[in-house]
Amino acid sequence: MRGIVGYGAYVPYYRLQRSAIGAALGAGGGSGTRAVAAYDEDATSMSVEAARSLIRSFGRSAPTPDALYFASATPPYLDKTNANAIHAALSLPSGVFSADMVGSARSTTAALTAALNDQRPVMITASDVRSGRPSSADEANMGDAAVALLIGSDVDGPVIAEWLGGASATGEFLDRWRQPGWDYSRVWEERFGESIYLPLVTEAATAAFKETEISAGSVDAAVVTGMHARAVRGAARAAGIGDDTPIADDLSTEVGTTGSSHSLLVLASVLDKAEPGQIIMVVNLVDGCDVNFFRTTDAIADYAPHKTIESQIANGNDSLTYQTFLTWRGFLDREPPRRPDPAPPAAPPSSRMVKWKYGFHGSRDRESGAIHLPPQRVSVKGGNVDDMELVPMADVEAKVTTFTIDRLAYSLSPPTVGVIIDFDGGGRFKAELTDVEPDEVQVGMRVQMTFRRLMTADGVHNYFWKAIPVR
């Protein structure tokens, strides 16, 4: 049996109320909220959080994949493999292959298909940071998120959702496009796209039903998503899905259409609540139509997601202002303080310190037991030299010992909250606290680590870890 062995989803903390757009511009916006990746997040950092969530969902140690694919329509780098940063953040062995499948949201389907057709355990992550020009439909209706799936066979861990097969239909048509460097995509007028998509949906669904010998009546839940809202609305019917078949909430009211991660995000939300023995039909409309069938197994009853999508939606913060949203997305070029531009991280030290910078490993002195962040060679207790072992600290919680609000430091979203945090079981770190309002911070607050993009300088993304409140 082959299929989904594990999954993790990440919905960022911030939400923008759509009405804020209309209030500011007199156009655009809508109702509900959309999820917003913070100024210090991107498709790579969110993928790390989704993958960590996947790994932490295993009650025991998670199976190590043999390959990792990163799928995104908004990759932070071109000509540098973004997946390698995720590989490093998860401290995967160097023998694990990692590669990007990037370009459009259909890249996720490519990654999923490659994983499902492989013999080995394969992890895929999918994530986009999505926006559009102010007052556009994309701006209001898109959202930011990430999902990680571990695909494998029974030898890799109990399969919780068996893959039953599927089919595709492809056509070349101009519906949505973006040049590298553009902040937004352009779309053709939507009635054209609908007229092309729906026949492709019918074709793919028909072929998929035939190929798998599943009947429309035996589908227990349908996940219908895509990059053309109007076509998606007509897709269930075009696919021949029964009127009685529940169509999963596509999370567009609170989260939005999340591009590369959307199909898997909605699938994950179904799996969060699924019973064993349910057939799930996944229909995705991106430059064609791809249909896949999964059936949940008995093992899904024992799978406890580290964080359900519902809980992440409930814990969101919708007080984000529209001007902050525009600033974070680069549409408002605001006056910075008179401080030097940040310097990019240098390649050799970043490479020497990869287990710290990406993997957040400290070192523990064997003689005294003292934990050092960053890792050291000489122990701060007892002065012992070169008797250290690396210890992974990213999943250890900490408390705030003292803090400050720095209104002078350079930041993409000032002020900077600086905290001294002491980890459970030992170790101290001078960190930046993010996803928090300054007046929320108190001595004694519980925090956990999160992987973020600190800033970009000279085109180099500076990835590292920050702390966030435990919520």
Partner 1 sequence: MASRGIKDQVVIIGMGCTKFGEHWDKSVDDMLIEAAHAAYESAGVQQDDVDAFWFGTLGSAVSGLALSRALKIDYKPVTRVENMCATGSEAFRNAAYAVASGAFDVVMAIGVEKLKDNGMSGLVGAPLPDDGTKSQLTAPASFSLLAPAYADKYGVDRAEMKEVMARIAWKNHYNGARNPRAQFQKEVSMEKITNAPLIAGDLGIYDCSGVSDGSAAAILCRAEDAHKYTDNPLYVKALSFTAGPAAGPIDPDYDYTTFHEVAACAADAYAQAGVTNPRAEIAMAEVHDCFTPTELVLMEDLGFAERGMGWKEVLAGTFDLDGELPVNPDGGLKSFGHPIGASGLRMLFECWLQLRQEAPADRQIKSVTEGGKTLGMTHNLGGAPGECVSFASIVGSQPG
Residues at the site binding partner 1, with contacts judged by CB under 8 A:
337-340, 342-346, 348-350, 352-353, 356-357, 370, 372-374, 376, 380-381, 401-410, 416, 418, 420, 422, 426-432, 443, 454, 462, 464
Query: Are 190 and 222 within 8 A, CB to CB?
Result: no
Choice between 322 and 429, CB closer to partner 1: 429
Measure CA 465 to chain center. 16
Rounded least distance, CB 430 to partner 1, Å? 4
Rounded least distance, CB 403 to partner 1, Å? 7
Tell the residue number behind the tokens 């500011």, with chain if given: 24
CA-to-CA distance for 184 and 452, rounded, in angstroms?
Answer: 23
Beta strand 97-102 pairing with 67-72: parallel
Nearest to 99 by CA among 57, 140, 71: 71
262-273 vs 106-116: helix crossing angle, rounded to 10 = 60
Q: What are the tokens at 459?
A: 């085109």
CA-to-CA distance for 201 and 231, rounded, in angstroms?
Answer: 9
Choice between 226 and 345, CB closer to partner 1: 345
Query: Are 90 and 52 within 8 A, CB to CB?
Result: yes
Instruction: Cite the beta strand spans of 11-121 per DSSP E.
Output: 14-17, 33-36, 67-72, 97-102
CA-to-CA distance for 7 and 54, rounded, in angstroms?
Answer: 5
Reading phi first (left if > 0) and then psi (alpha if -120 to 50, else beta), residue 264 is in alpha
Rounded least distance, CB 407 to partner 1, Å? 6
Rounded least distance, CB 214 to partner 1, Å? 51
Nearest to 176 by CA among 95, 79, 106: 106
Rounded least distance, CB 293 to partner 1, Å? 45
Q: Is the peptide bond before 305 cis (omega within 30 degrees of 0)?
A: no
Choice between 225 and 434, CB closer to partner 1: 434
Rounded least distance, CB 24 to partner 1, Å? 28
- Main-chain phi, psi angles of 13, to 5 degrees: -70, -40
* 3 state DSSP class of 148: strand
**Cβ-based neighbours of 460, under 8 Å, separated by 6 or more:** 344, 345
User: In this structure, which amino acid lies at residue 465?
Assistant: W
What is the DSSP secondary structure assignment for residue 244, as one 8-state letter? T
Rounded least distance, CB 136 to partner 1, Å? 34
Choice between 160 and 412, CB closer to partner 1: 412
Choice between 201 and 467, CB closer to partner 1: 467
Tell me how far CA of residue 112 lies from CA of 100, 164, 288, in angstroms. 12, 13, 16
Choice between 199 and 336, CB closer to partner 1: 336
Tell me how far CA of residue 73 lies from CA of 144, 204, 258, 286, in angstroms. 12, 23, 10, 11
Rounded least distance, CB 283 to partner 1, Å? 42
190-212 vs 229-238: helix crossing angle, rounded to 10 = 30
Rounded least distance, CB 371 to partner 1, Å? 8
Choice between 176 and 372, CB closer to partner 1: 372
Choice between 57 and 450, CB closer to partner 1: 450
Choice between 117 and 401, CB closer to partner 1: 401
Rounded least distance, CB 91 to partner 1, Å? 16
Rounded least distance, CB 231 to partner 1, Å? 43
Q: Is the dihedral of CA 255, 259, 260, 264 positive or negative?
A: positive
Choice between 352 and 366, CB closer to partner 1: 352
Choice between 275 and 424, CB closer to partner 1: 424
Three-state helix/strand/coil letters over 192-221: HHHHHHHHHHHHHHHHHHHHHCCCHHHCCE
Rounded least distance, CB 351 to partner 1, Å? 8
Choice between 82 and 269, CB closer to partner 1: 82
